[in-house]
Structure 1
Amino acid sequence: MAKVAIITGAPNDQSRLNGLVLYAAKIISEENVSYEIIHVHSLPAEDLITAKFDSEEIKQANRIVEKSDGVIVLTPVYKASYSGILKTYLDLLPQKGLEHKVILPLVLGGSFGHLLAIEYALNPVLSALGASHIVNGVYTVDKQIKRIDHNAFSIQEEAQQRLKAALETFTKILKSEKKR
Structure 2
Amino acid sequence: MATVLTLTGSASAPGSSRTARLVKHLGRDLAAQGHRVRSLDVRTLPAEALLSADTSHPAVAEAVALVEDADALVVGTPVYKAAYSGVLKTFLDLLPQYALRGKPVLPLATGGSPAHVLAVDYALRPVLTSLGAEVTQGWFVLDRHITAADDGTVSLTPDADAGLAPVVDRFREVLAEPTRLAVA
TM category, shorter: over 0.9
Greater relative contact order, per chain length (Cα 8 Å cut-off, separation 6+): 1
Paired residues of 1:31 and 1:171 also in contact (CA < 8 A)? no
Which of the numbers 51, 55, 73 marks the counterpart of 1:49?
Answer: 51
Extract unaligned runs of 5+ from structure 1.
none
Q: 157-166 or 53-62, which moves further after superposition?
A: 157-166
**For 2:31 and 2:151, how far apart are their aligned partners in 1?**
23
Aligned partner of 1:92 in structure 2 is 94
Paired residues of 1:27 and 1:167 also in contact (CA < 8 A)? no
Paired residues of 1:106 and 1:139 also in contact (CA < 8 A)? yes
SS at match of 2:48: helix
**For 2:77 and 2:142, how far apart are their aligned partners in 1?**
12
Paired residues of 2:23 and 2:74 also in contact (CA < 8 A)? no
2:164 is the alignment partner of 1:178: no
2:35 is the alignment partner of 1:27: no
Q: CA RMSD in A?
A: 1.6
Matches within 5 A, 1:134-153: 134-149=135-150, 151-153=152-154
Overall identity of the aligned pairs, in %: 38
Structure 1 moving runs of 4+ over 4 Å: none
Extract unaligned runs of 5+ from structure 2.
none
Aligned partner of 1:79 in structure 2 is 81
SS at match of 2:56: coil
Q: 146-155 or 99-108, which moves further after superposition?
A: 146-155
Per the TM alignment, residue 161 of structure 1 is displaced from its structure 2 partner at its CA by 3.0
Paired residues of 1:81 and 1:117 also in contact (CA < 8 A)? yes
C-alpha distance 83-165 of structure 1, shift in aligned 2 (>3 A): same
SS at match of 1:95: coil
Aligned partner of 1:5 in structure 2 is 5
Paired residues of 2:6 and 2:24 also in contact (CA < 8 A)? no
Aligned partner of 2:166 in structure 1 is 165
Per the TM alignment, residue 146 of structure 1 is displaced from its structure 2 partner at its CA by 2.4
